[in-house]
A = this chain, B = another copy of it.
Amino acid sequence: MSDLRVGVVGAGLMGADHVARLQGRIAGATVSAVIDPDTQRAEMAAQAAPGSTVFSGIAAAIESGSMDAVLIATPGQFHLEDLFTALDAELPVLCEKPLTPDPESALKVVDAEVAGGRKLIQVGFMRRFDPGYMELREIIATQPYGDLLALRCAHRNPSVPEGYTGEMLINDSVVHEFDVVRYLTDSPIAAVDVKHLKRNTNNYPHLNEPILAFLETESGVIADVEMNVSVKFGYQVKTEAVFESAIVEIGRTSGTTTWSDGKYSGSEHVTFKTRFQEAFDNELRRWVNAAKNGTIDGPSAWDGYLVAAACQAGVQALNTGQRVEVDYVPQPDFYK
C-alpha cells in the first residue's frame, strides 16, 4: 500500500517537529506538503521531508492534489478556517489542541462535521496515547481495586516563554487534564475551581502561578491539578489515582507503580520483544537509512567474526571448566 501523503499546516516549533516525526519515525506516511504563510520557515521545516512542496496556504495545497490528509499545527486562533477547508475537501485532519479557542466556534466545527456525515477531525490530545494513561484507564474501567475516588495530578514545566499569560495556565496547560480526566473516568467535567498556591516570585511579574485546579466529573471524581510552569528542575506530568483499595501512580520515569495489599509493585518485562523494543526500532531505523545509501550503520561482519571466535572459546570453557584464551586473526584495515 502506498504511503499516506500528509500536508503539515504551520511550520513553527510544533509543526516542524511533526514534519520530522512523520518523515523519520512513522511508517506509511510521507510529508508531501509544508504550509505556512511564512514560506521561508516552511522551507526550513520541509528540509526534513525531501520531495515535499511548500505552500503559503492550505487551499493551494489542496488544489495541487498532493495531500491525502492534513496535520494542523498553527496557533488555535487560526484553526477554524483551515478546518472548514479540510472538511470541504473531505481530508482527514489531525488538529493540534485547542480545536478552536472557544466553545462557540468549536460547536461550528462539530456542526459542520456532523453535516458532512464523516468523522474527519481528530484533536491532538496526545496523552490518550501515552502508555501510562492507557494503562490507568484500563484499571479504572475494570475495577480491580474498586471505584476511582480521586486523581491527584501534577503538570510541571521547567519554564514558559514571556508571552505566556495567566489564562494560558488553563487554555494551554490544564487543557490536557480537562480532556484526559474525562477520558480516564468516562465522565464529563461538571465543575471547576481554582486556587492559587504560594506565588513563584521568580516568574514574570504578570504571571501568578502555580495554581491548583479542581475538576469535578459528573461521576463525582475529583481531580486536583497542580499547574506549575516555572519549576525549573524538569518536565513532569504525573497522576496518582486514588481507588477504594489501592493507589496507582503513572508518569514517573520509573513507570507505573501500584500500591495494594501491603505492597508496591510494577511490571517487569517477560519477553525480549518489549525489553528491546526500542533497540530493535533504532537498529532498523538506522540500517534502513544507511541501506538507502548502499551501506550499513552498525556492527559489521568483522564484529560477527570476533564474536564467533569468543563463542568458540566460551563453549570450550563451558565444556572443560577451564579458562580459555581467545585467538583472533589480525584485523583487516578495511574495518579499522
Contact = CB atoms under 8 A, between A and B. Distances in A.
Contacts of A335: 110
Contact of A119 (B246, B275, B296): B296
A244 to B, nearest CB: 5
Interface residues of A, number: 190
B152 A103 contact: no
A82 interface: no
Nearest to A328: B188
A291 B156 contact: no
A217 B213 CA distance: 19
A192 B113 contact: no
Contact of A268 (B6, B183, B264, B272): B264
A139 interface: no
A314 B149 contact: no
Nearest to A68: B291
Nearest to A133: B279
A280 to B, nearest CB: 5
Given A233-B262, A298-B129, A253 B254 contact: yes
A60 B315 CA distance: 37
Contacts of A18: 284
With a 10 A CB-CB cut-off, give which of A166, A214, A291, A300 has the most chain B CB atoms.
A291
A228 B246 CA distance: 11
Nearest to A286: B129
A305 B26 contact: no
Contacts of A196: 222
Interface of A is mostly: mixed
A23 interface: yes
A262 B268 contact: yes
Contact of A121 (B94, B193, B296, B315): B296
A204 interface: no
A234 to B, nearest CB: 4
Contacts of A24: 27-28
Contacts of A222: 195-198, 212
A194 interface: yes
B315 A95 contact: no
Nearest to A251: B275
Contact of A270 (B179, B214, B221, B262): B262
A191 B259 CA distance: 32
A281 interface: yes
Contact of A152 (B226, B259, B323): B226
B267 A253 contact: yes
A216 to B, nearest CB: 8
A63 interface: no
Interface string A36-72: 0000000000000011000000000000000011000
5 contacts: A17-B273, A147-B201, A189-B326, A192-B313, A264-B265
Given A22-B284, A94-B287, A213-B314, 8 more contacts: A18-B284, A106-B309, A110-B301, A110-B302, A121-B304, A233-B245, A259-B268, A265-B266
